[in-house]
Amino acid sequence: MTVHNEALRDHACLIVHGPDQPGLVAAVTGLITRHKANIVSLDQYSDNPEGGAFFQRVVFHRPELTAAFDEIESDIAETLKPYGMTWRLTDQSIPKRMAVLASTSDHCLLDLLWRHRRGELPVSIPMVISNHTNMVEDVRSFGIPFFHVPSQGPDKSAAEAEIVKLLSGNVDFVVLARYMQILSDNFIQDVAVPVINIHHSFLPAFIGAGPYRKAKERGVKLIGATSHYVTKDLDEGPIIEQDVVRVTHADSAADLQRRGADVERAVLSRAVLWHAQDRVIRNGNHTVVF
Amino acid sequence: MTVHNEALRDHACLIVHGPDQPGLVAAVTGLITRHKANIVSLDQYSDNPEGGAFFQRVVFHRPELTAAFDEIESDIAETLKPYGMTWRLTDQSIPKRMAVLASTSDHCLLDLLWRHRRGELPVSIPMVISNHTNMVEDVRSFGIPFFHVPSQGPDKSAAEAEIVKLLSGNVDFVVLARYMQILSDNFIQDVAVPVINIHHSFLPAFIGAGPYRKAKERGVKLIGATSHYVTKDLDEGPIIEQDVVRVTHADSAADLQRRGADVERAVLSRAVLWHAQDRVIRNGNHTVVF
Amino acid sequence: MTVHNEALRDHACLIVHGPDQPGLVAAVTGLITRHKANIVSLDQYSDNPEGGAFFQRVVFHRPELTAAFDEIESDIAETLKPYGMTWRLTDQSIPKRMAVLASTSDHCLLDLLWRHRRGELPVSIPMVISNHTNMVEDVRSFGIPFFHVPSQGPDKSAAEAEIVKLLSGNVDFVVLARYMQILSDNFIQDVAVPVINIHHSFLPAFIGAGPYRKAKERGVKLIGATSHYVTKDLDEGPIIEQDVVRVTHADSAADLQRRGADVERAVLSRAVLWHAQDRVIRNGNHTVVF
Amino acid sequence: MTVHNEALRDHACLIVHGPDQPGLVAAVTGLITRHKANIVSLDQYSDNPEGGAFFQRVVFHRPELTAAFDEIESDIAETLKPYGMTWRLTDQSIPKRMAVLASTSDHCLLDLLWRHRRGELPVSIPMVISNHTNMVEDVRSFGIPFFHVPSQGPDKSAAEAEIVKLLSGNVDFVVLARYMQILSDNFIQDVAVPVINIHHSFLPAFIGAGPYRKAKERGVKLIGATSHYVTKDLDEGPIIEQDVVRVTHADSAADLQRRGADVERAVLSRAVLWHAQDRVIRNGNHTVVF
């Protein structure tokens, strides 16, 4: 049974992207008006006014949305066909299903669970999966299922297969909340839903392991965190959100880690919120964030 | 003769606001499409989905805009009449005419003149008016006329009348770049164009004179600046932009003044830019900034 | 039995303040050297080089500190007597005892408990007191005692007396983690330890109740939070820390509340950390934060 | 003739660094007291409490400093000899002589000249050198000599030699205010004073040419600027200061450049101020900034 978010009942979100053409916005907004819906918010962006890519996000309110959903979808398909656009329509009252993968660190994981409990994140969380067990009690105290999938030895394929089996069909996206295992290309392909990571540096600075140590060695005056979609290239995927905090010569590597943890959880929470609200559209290796 | 901004040739900006109603966005975008224009950017906001106020800013590109301008205006008037909306259409390539009023402080004034020279501000600057003469050479070195209107004694009405005479018909908006005279209600009415002020505090904290001294006395850990439209109530007008900078116990009132100057010029420059680009819509004592 | 922080074993912190005089720093550092201690960090500040107030914080490492503590204290007393200085010496390995008073809001309370569990706050938490019961399970899951002291009706004196009784002799400072009761002057006097509050605005803007609503009404572009010591004047005590976050016209009062909560917990946690580390010295209605 | 800064008359700054040892601070502060000087500010840092490097900056006020300067220097040399420390004593009222090297960009250059005119930078500026002539009038309007040293063709050695000749003996440090020529190792050696650069990225991200273009390509959500001492390794020298500003998908590479310019001038001005005040101590490839 789908959990509904009552505040967003009868709200739909339409994402449209593809080649920019005159008349697109009018076509979409005309369509919405025809279906007796009221536009709640509308964002659009074209990466080049002359022949670039077009991105649009419209949230509209349509009483009795559920009954009309299929018809609206058909109309969108027909209306947008001549324009050759990619699109998707979602019912905003149906929360996306989010799995969290974690290791021993608690800060990103707990912040997501806590925000979810507060009602800040429009998601359901069917499971947390970890290669460690230290967080089992914390997770279950939020009423969320916890699965332990150890990941030892050089061959991770069995662990990855077990995780894919748990996720398969059960989730709409996956969040790596400081999950300290490098995932294989096969895993990314098999999981077949977006995977969001938090990297503990201001990418592209300090790619890979030990960013706080590297930051200390380089003597930077700000440290950061970056949330991005995972692709087959480590720490190279499309960036959703980044932020930084000021540090000084007096901060040790441990201080950087402690202060960075605050930035990590804030950045990841924002990225997850925006993804859950369909505010993030991938554009090659970039993101459009409305 | 109007100075044109070539990069914005054939770009128009349409601002619409009034009571929110279904079909508004479709009506506006349909109209733009009918006129063979391409939407470059579109922002909209409704302050209450149920019967609130609606605000929209659309920038569109229409080849041969000048020739079509009157016809588009007529069409907008007719299209929006049933909705009872307020609207205005501007040719983005025609820079707004901005007068700057200053006193002895140079930081806000010079930052505006310098950004204007760099091409960052889409305005023309027909005049700088000051009640002091210390900036005359600086201003003229930018090729901008300087007028000295002293303002001594308790009765400012003669000085204000002289300023109104200089401004009248020559400017589209006025910027108070740390102009240290309180303007009368009559002046605000007579000048009859928007007046933008920079106040050297994070309003509504430290209204009135001596905000840095007051900030030092209160022991705040951040100081700020606020740019707002001037109304008859001192420092109470609609806020356009604000920002802050961190200070410590070790900063003297003079330090606050020096560090605050950087925030003042940054905040004022952003407010002026956004106003010049028709991004700011007044909504009672609030602003919508697109 | 005192819980010890091993990382800070044999570290002492000396706070000195009073009238600035030549030779003071040399007297203090000479004393520390005589006691075979090594200075780990030293901060000092004079609010006026000519006859102002002097503030100093020195952390030094002295093997076998416990055995030497009384002797060092006597020496400090004797050395500083001619200068007429106020001072205190603390063993940094002994965590301060912190009570938290809360109401229904969880964000500040949980952030403190979680940081404490992570080892980020050098305090012990002997109790959480609330006038509500919704947080009892959360608090006890951290292994921390929870006391419910209801506060109904206009007369709060019985509730306050009960709280004073719980706190008396058991704590070194009190944190109001969004405790939604105004405390009487008598309470502040009777509790006889520092009380730290978090106010959900950038003080001195929006003193009193409903700051987010007031911020929305005024149309500010940044909202903030302020942590300060509680005095008999509501929201007027010495400010320890402040911070802000950017908001827009599109943020509702509920959005401000949600986004402000992140600033509140961050600001309060920093204020608590600095207080616990003896980094904050009160100077009239100001603070010196080293 | 030396220009004096009256506000800092009789203020000296002593920088001490070397191996950390017990008694160092007492030795230094005792020495200052013996010379009847009053400590105005004191900062110290040890990068490792057990056998690390020690850094100290003390500003003290000593009436008739000029007359006593040599004697104090001798005393410092004798006092610190047993500790094996590096040190330098400077008269704070004597501004450092700063040369600025620029190309066509005006923002960093003008910000430095303007702050200097305002009295914000305790330096004298004996010359601006540029490989272009577009800024000659602006520079001379500040009353500062301008020298044009063209730098064409692959062999820059003649141009570098001419610059070294101009600088030699005339300046205490050099600022590269967006000087778009890569300087040779020989130049760095021959110039024999610190050289401060501003790089238009958040180092170590986007080393080398075209950082804004690279930032746009990577799709970062913040852009930054970094001021550092120049060493023989391009963009690898010790970082003095960094800062960032938020950008979005909608910002073009030109927007990044425009918004980045504001960060560049702010970061460079802070780095120059701190260097001029002897607040920056090099520690291998790091800086200690007091």
All residues of chain C having their beta carbon less than 8 Å from the beta carbon of residue A120 are 258
Tell whether A219 and A246 lie within a shared domain. yes
Looking at the structure, do residues C119 and C18 belong to the same domain, yes or no? no
Q: Looking at chain C, which residue has its C-alpha nearest residue A117?
A: C106
In this structure, what token pair is assigned to residue C281? 């010295």
Q: Are residues A219 and A81 in the same domain?
A: no
In chain A, which residues have their Cβ closer than 8 Å to the Cβ of B22?
A: 33, 36-38
- Supply the CATH number for residue A79's domain: 3.30.70.260
Q: Is residue A1 part of a domain?
A: no
Look at residue B241 and tell me if it is in a domain. Answer: yes
Predicted confidence band of residue C66 (pLDDT cuts 50, 70, 90): very high
Q: Which of C11, C35, C36, C38 to mutate to test the interface with D (most CBs of D within 10 A)?
A: C38
Q: Residues with Cβ < 8 Å from C196, sequence gap 6 or more? A: C173, C174, C175, C176, C227, C228, C229, C230, C240, C268, C271, C272, C275
Which of A132-136, D39-43, D49-53 is most confident? A132-136
Cβ of B203 within 8 Å of Cβ of C206? The answer is no
Q: Do A84 and A103 sit in the same domain of this protein?
A: no
What pLDDT was estimated at residue D1? Answer: 43
Residue D32 backbone phi and psi in degrees, to 5: -65, -40
Least CB–CB distance from A33: residue in B22, B36, B38 = B22
The DSSP code sequence of C44-73 is EEES-TTT-EEEEEEEEE-TTHHHHHHHHH
Task: For residue A81, give its domain range.
Answer: 6-91
Question: A159 and A229, same structural domain?
Answer: yes
Whether residue D3 is predicted with pLDDT greater than 70 in this model: the reply is: no
C110/A114 CB distance under 8 A: yes
Looking at residues B52-67, what average pLDDT do you find? 95
**Are residues C249 and B283, on separate chains, in Cβ contact within 8 Å?**
yes
Binning pLDDT at 50, 70 and 90, where does residue C3 land? Answer: low
| pLDDT tens-digit map of B126-165 | 999 999 999 999 999 999 999 999 988 888 999 999 999 9
C102 and C86 in one domain? no
* Structural domain includes residue B1: no
Structural domain includes residue D1: no
Q: Do B244 and C248 touch (CB under 8 A)?
A: no
Q: Would you say residue D170 lies in a domain?
A: yes
Chain segment A50-71, per-residue pLDDT in tens:
788 999 999 999 999 999 999 9
D155 shares a domain with D136: yes
A101 belongs to a structural domain: yes
Per-residue model confidence as pLDDT tens digits over B231-261: 988 789 999 999 999 999 999 999 999 999 9
Of C204, C219, C248, the CB nearest to B218: C204
CB contact under 8 A, B258 and D110: no
**The domain boundary residue, chosen from D71, D91, D111:** D91
**Contact pairs from chain A to chain D, CB under 8 Å:** 76
Where would I find the beta strands (DSSP E) of chain A? 11-19, 38-46, 53-61, 86-91, 96-102, 123-130, 146-148, 173-177, 195-199, 222-229, 239-246, 280-283, 286-289
Q: Is the pLDDT of residue B1 over 60?
A: no
Q: State the complex-level ipTM.
A: 0.94
In angstroms, the separation between the Cα of residue A52 and the nearest Cα of chain D is 13
Measured distance CA(D28)–CA(D21) in Å, rounded: 12
Read off the pLDDT band of C190 (50, 70, 90).
very high
How far apart are alpha carbons B79 and B90 in whole angstroms? 17
pLDDT at A96 exceeding the cut of 80: yes
Residue A284 in domain: yes
CA-to-CA dists, residue C63 to B158, C88, C126, angstroms: 77, 19, 29
How many folded domains does chain D comprise? 2
Average pLDDT, rounded, for chain B: 95
Same domain, A60 and A170: no
Q: How confident is the model at residue D235 (pLDDT cuts 50, 70, 90)?
A: confident
> Average of pLDDT values for C177-196?
95
**Do residues D193 and D226 both lie within one domain?**
yes
The verdict on residue A73 lying in a domain is yes
Q: Which pLDDT score is estimated for D155?
A: 87
In this predicted structure, what is the pLDDT of residue B184? 93
Give the C-alpha separation, C212 to C195, whole Å. Answer: 23
Domain's final residue, options B74, B91, B108: B91
pLDDT, chain D, mean = 95
Distance CA D236, CA D285 (A): 8
Is the N-terminal amide bond of B82 cis, ω within 30° of 0? no
Residue C249 Cα, gap to closest chain B Cα (Å): 6
B83 with B188, same domain? no
Catalytic residues of D: 235
For residue D288, the chain C residues in CB contact (below 8 A) are: none
Q: What is the pLDDT of residues A234-274, one digit of tens each?
A: 789 999 999 999 999 999 999 999 999 999 999 999 999 99
Examine the domain organization and report whether D238 and D146 are in the same domain.
yes
Q: Tell me which of A75, A91, A107 is where a domain ends.
A: A91
| Helix, strand, coil shares, percent, chain A, to 5 | 35, 30, 35
If you measure CA to CA, which chain B residue comes closest to D255?
B120
Can you give the CATH number for the domain in which C109 is found? Answer: 3.40.50.170
How close is the nearest chain B Cα to the Cα of C86, in Å? 19
Question: Do C217 and C184 sit in the same domain of this protein?
Answer: yes
Q: Are strands B146-148 and B123-130 parallel, antiparallel or unpaired?
A: parallel
